[in-house]
Structure 1
Amino acid sequence: MAGSDTQDARPPPPPLDNTIKLTERRKKQSQDVGLPAIGPVTLTKISVLEETSTNVEDWHNEVYCILRPLRLHKLLDHKRPRPKKGDKGYEQWSYWSTTVSGWIFTHLHSNLKDLLRPTLGIGTHGYAELSDSEDEEDEEHDIYADVLIKEITRAFRGGNLINQTILDGKRFLHLKRNSFGTVKDYITAFRRHLAILEKRKIAPPPLRAFIHIIDQLGNESPKLNFIIKQISRKQTITRDEFDEFCKDLQVESDTRESGEAAATRGSRNNNKKKRPSTTAKQEDDKPQSQTPRASEDDHKKQSDNNSSGKKFRRAPPKGKDIHQYAKEKREAEKQVDDNGNCSFYRLGPHNTKNCYHLADNIVRD
């Protein structure tokens, strides 16, 4: 009884919170957990990140996908604690973090490197000047992967307002139509970057911005010619008119893309219809094999008849009156074939006497 009273007196366990549990586990795991042994490694080349790049997230994903299979991706997370100097995994972490940092730095454009050097505390020679020194104290100046990634992220998210303003202006000027799959995607990105410049108070006037779009699209958009005529009459446009013109071009892009997709589907369906099905071919060949064989003279006459002028199926021999030929077929002894179809037309559950194609007043192909 005493034991049961003791158990009842215990407070209930706190509810599990997956978010807290994940955060606590993440705090416990420092960057050196799960790293491979020190040794040579080959890191694949990736695209070079420029200061005017508009797809920084894609570049980050590219870096992560290279490091993840090698178990080096945790080195990029500055929120994970580092091992302290003297800890068991410190040397291993320092080796891999500087290796990854050097690999990342080689995939940065020279202009972006110049932008990052003051914040990273390195000179114009970069990593070379640090590695040439044999002083152990210079280890404090090593650039680790998490710091480098953090500074790159800050550079593209406005860590330095003046530099960020310059970068935003350059990215806007470097927007190219050929960098996007459709006109709609290009204009969407253009409007997004224009809104950023407006926040920085450095946006070009609406007319100047739309001239940039005209220059990039060229003759790709038929709607653009109509818009240009409207602008030429007014000599200027407002911000609302700029938005309306952009929306018109985006709608036109959507319509054109849908039309091209429908045309592609239609051409595929037409190609399928043109292909004779195996069943229809068998249906057409089956009665022919069961009808009496024509003489070589008849085949020759039909060939001569088909070779001149328009070709008709089951046409009368050359020189024979078509009405007389139809009468003979209507009065033929064999009215239906073995499948119960007309022995002349070879389709339909009727005999040759009642065949529509052998009617006295209408003789059809």
Structure 2
Amino acid sequence: MADTETDNEGDTNPHPLDASTNPLEPQIPSFTNPIQFTQDDSDSEDEDNTPPHQGHGLPAIAMTKIQKVRTLEHNDTDPSGWKQALAYQLIPYALEWLLDSNIPRPHKSHASFGRWKYWSRLVASWMYNQIDVTLQNKLRNLSKMPKYADQLYDELMSMTQGSDRMQTAFIEMRKFDKMKRSDYNSASEYIEEYQRQYHVLARFKAAPHPSHGLSQVLQNIELEVMKVQFIREEVASLEPKKLTLDKVEEYWRALQAAADMEGVANATYNNNAGRGRGNGRGGRGGNRGGRGQNNNGHNDDNTQSNKDTNAVEDDTATAKKKKKKGLRKQPADGKDIHEYANDA
């Protein structure tokens, strides 16, 4: 993983010193200040949850002495017991997450960055004293000495686990390659998990170039986050190799914030649109009702027309009857008028 303070993974070390000297000992600001635990905005009630970053919930900077654990030997192929011993010594001080490079480091602008930097270097210095001389010499022969806890921890695991570490790296690479937006509930969740998995590969020094990581995220969320277009325009004139991980992480955070905001806005819009569509359908229903009323109107016209026709027929029959009633004496039905006259 890249160093957050500089672009290096550790201190340049062209001339290794004697292994008896601890090169990682941080400057202790005070020998009298007690350990004080502080909180930041991301603190939650569940302390067992993986924190959003390594700076989460760290104690205030102060002098402390962490108890020793058994020495890790260079020929130890199963360091799981040593790893567990480390964790149990760090848990009382809320420092155990500093060993996990899968968890992002706090950004330089974050309020916890100073605390994280101090405690991470102190834990690294303590770990250096929990390994044998052979491992210490191997560390000193590296071109860049790991100076933070997660870096040193990963390097020691690499030195002792050997081939198992490569197999684990292959598994993590496949997991990274298979990541899809559709596997997550939101764009924000996808970006967060993508960053986390990217840092896992960085731990194995197998992460793709930052520009490739940014390109993948932009492509997978371009249909739902408008800020994608603005970032593409901003980086269009840059050379891919000059796009640093710090800058890409800045873009990832901006995209995640935009995804959160647009997700809330879209939910509100969809709720309002749903109510609007309901009214529209009701209106159309009313129109259909209106058409129904128009149909009823046509039926009424037909009925009225039939009534008028019947009325005309009735009036004609009545007129005929009146005409017959107009004669005082008239022949019976079926009798000729002349016969009637002779009879009369």
Q: Which structure has the higher relative contact order (CA within 8 Å, separation 6+)?
A: 2
Does the TM-score normalized on the shorter chain lie above 0.5? no
- Which TM-score applies when normalising by structure 1? 0.30
- Which TM-score applies when normalising by structure 2? 0.32
Higher-Rg structure is 2
